[in-house]
Amino acid sequence: MILIKLGGSVITDKSEYQKFNRDTVARLADEIHRSGQRVIIVHGAGSFGHVLAKKHSIQDGYASDDQIPAAARIMSDTRKLSSMVVEELLAHGIPAVSVAPGSCFVMEDGRLIVDNEEPVRRLEGIGIMPVMFGDVVTDRRKGFAIVSGDQCMEVLCRMFNPEKVVFVSDIDGLYTADPKTDPKARLIGEVTRKKLAETSTDETVADVTGGVRSKMEAMLRMTDGGRRCYLVNGNAPNRLYSLLKGETVTCTMAKGGME
């Protein structure tokens, strides 16, 4: 089984509130289906979550009642996005159902607590793919918090022990500098904990869940002796398909863990 994260930067336009990239998601769903691989999919919240979360500091936890309407709206918006993603997966022959992390998990001081894996395991066991996503969830200490799609990936990686993990983004991989602003930026084909420590990972778009560095750290945590994690550009047609088929593509591969 292959675990895939469809990044919010690919499935939405992060600079515009609630802008869904339907054509891109449809193409990616087709690539996944054509690959013939058994997969589990997570997706980011993109502009359906980050815009309001940043405006109201939801990532910092409860500070005042003024945040409550925004937190509720974000939860509604992320479910709306997930419904649209699932509709594209269904349309391309992938039996999927949206599973909101906030409906089954809680957090404690920003750490995801998973007390009951059975519902998600049973869905996957009968052939229905659970689709999780970045969400606002209740937090035992902070009132509420943001669970990122990357955190969901780590939980699912532990649960299902995939042979490969793929993060689909809007860039070719990890660079020595921001490729959107620095023409001298070079793609890093292979990243380890040491390589990441030496690399700048500044963001061009505000991300309340940590950005590229947080993503690469999560990827490294999901590697082991045999498992590799890949960061690949979902805006390049058929690149995800080729990677799923085991072909060599332009991307960044993470290996070696975070220890």
d(CA 159, CA 162): 9
The per-residue pLDDT for 217 is 84
d(CA 28, CA 170): 13
Write out the H or E segment, with its range, that includes residue 34.
helix 22-35
d(CA 172, CA 192): 17
d(CA 223, CA 115): 24
From residue 38, give the alpha-carbon distance in Å to each of 91, 133, 153, 190, 247: 17, 19, 16, 25, 17
Strand, helix or coil at 163? coil
pLDDT in tens, the chain (259 residues): 999 999 999 999 888 889 999 999 999 999 999 999 999 999 999 989 888 998 999 999 999 999 999 999 999 999 999 999 999 999 999 999 999 998 889 999 999 998 889 999 999 999 999 999 999 999 999 999 999 999 999 999 999 999 999 999 998 988 877 777 888 888 889 988 887 777 765 554 444 444 567 778 888 999 987 899 999 999 999 999 999 999 999 999 998 886 6
The per-residue pLDDT for 103 is 86
The answer to whether the beta carbons of residues 229 and 220 sit under 8 Å apart is yes
Residue for token pair 């159902």? 97
The answer to whether the beta carbons of residues 133 and 78 sit under 8 Å apart is yes
The per-residue pLDDT for 14 is 81
Q: Letter for the amino acid at 223?
A: T
